Amino acid sequence: MNAIIKFCSRYILRYATLWPLLLMSCVQKSAETVEIRGVYGNPKPFWDKGLNLEKLGVNAIFVHSGSIDHDMVERARSEGVMVYAEFATLNGKNYVETHPEAWAIDEKGEKVQAASWFMGVCPTEPGFRQYRFGQLRDLLLEYDLDGIWMDYVHWHAQFEEPEPILPETCFCEHCLADFSKASGIEIPDGSTQEKANWILNTHNEAWRNWRCKVIYDWTYEIKNIIKEIKPKALLGLYHCPWDDQEFNGARRRILGLDYDLLKETIDVFSPMVYHRRMGREPDWVEGNIQWFSDRLDIKKDSYPKVWPIVQAYNNPGVISSGEFEIVLKGGLAGESSGVMMFTTTAVAEDEGKTEVMKKVYTHLKKKSDK
């Protein structure tokens, strides 16, 4: 009996000393930090209402590069907010009209038409590449930014619709020559349509792989420019949220988005889980982010990270404040360590949505401050 009492005493003493550490570990785990509580769009709609971003729980703004100015950056910093610039990478609107050499060509040898509201561009055209990289350098040199978020990073198509527009591109002379050189495949003479048909029928896999590498190359070059000018700035990616099978694998097959390549250059993935735009239910957001976390083996404490962007904008239909709360919380599923919403105007003009965002974000802020 004495031996048992002594053993128990030593056991209790030993684990009594460890208990505070175990308790601390549990507390830390339960209060895992959500790094980003973001908004997408110019914060002016909130400021016009006399609202302070920090008091709304917001700690990051994601703003189109053309809307950023020094006053915005200064005020955001004064409210304790990080500033990220959206960079419209492969959007060719207002460029291809004056630079026809950069117009994407379809499998019929014709110039593509705008896909819904999006007008893509040929991603291999040398002049356009030089133009975009120059814009990026100017942006990084002009403003104190925490990161660059690439947008419109895919071959010409439109995925933000229930029935997406998925053309075959690009079969311009730049792309055909680049594909032939990169793959070692000699393309026979003929019309553009004949060349396209020959590639798709005889070297389809090589063609898809090459297209993915073209998109990856854009992220690689932009990453290097960021490292050169602002080494601490992050590279983020707004992207199509489809899984590997949806629309016959169109995310990789048509858009050219290969996660296994992109995770080598991208610091933060931001799936565009716009449920209404894509004809999905609100709870689809949570399931998608869980799938994405598993697919890329995302870990909150390492890169790459995932900070989704959810829909608050009333199109199509009206998104209620309750629906907005579901998708905002759904964006924090899986290994997500941040979330943002589209757009500032959509939330600022709706008191219910503003209160939802404030409630969710201030709760997350309190947890991270513990």
Q: Mean pLDDT, 10 residues at a time, over the chain (370 residues)?
A: 40 36 33 85 98 98 98 98 98 96 98 94 98 98 98 97 96 98 98 98 98 98 98 98 98 98 98 97 98 96 97 96 98 98 98 98 87
Q: Residue 340's closest CA among 245, 274, 255? A: 274
- Reduced to 3 states, what is the DSSP secondary structure of residue 234? strand
For residue 22, the model assigns a pLDDT of: 32
For residue 369, the model assigns a pLDDT of: 79
The two tokens of residue 43 are 């914060």
pTM for this entry:
0.91
Please tell me the CATH superfamily of domain 33-369, with its number: Glycosidases (3.20.20.80)
For residue 32, the model assigns a pLDDT of: 63
Domain locations in the chain as residue ranges: 33-369
DSSP secondary structure letters along 185-215: PPPPSS-HHHHHHHHHHHSHHHHHHHHHHHH
Dist. CA 230–CA 137, nearest whole Å: 10
- Reduced to 3 states, what is the DSSP secondary structure of residue 315? coil
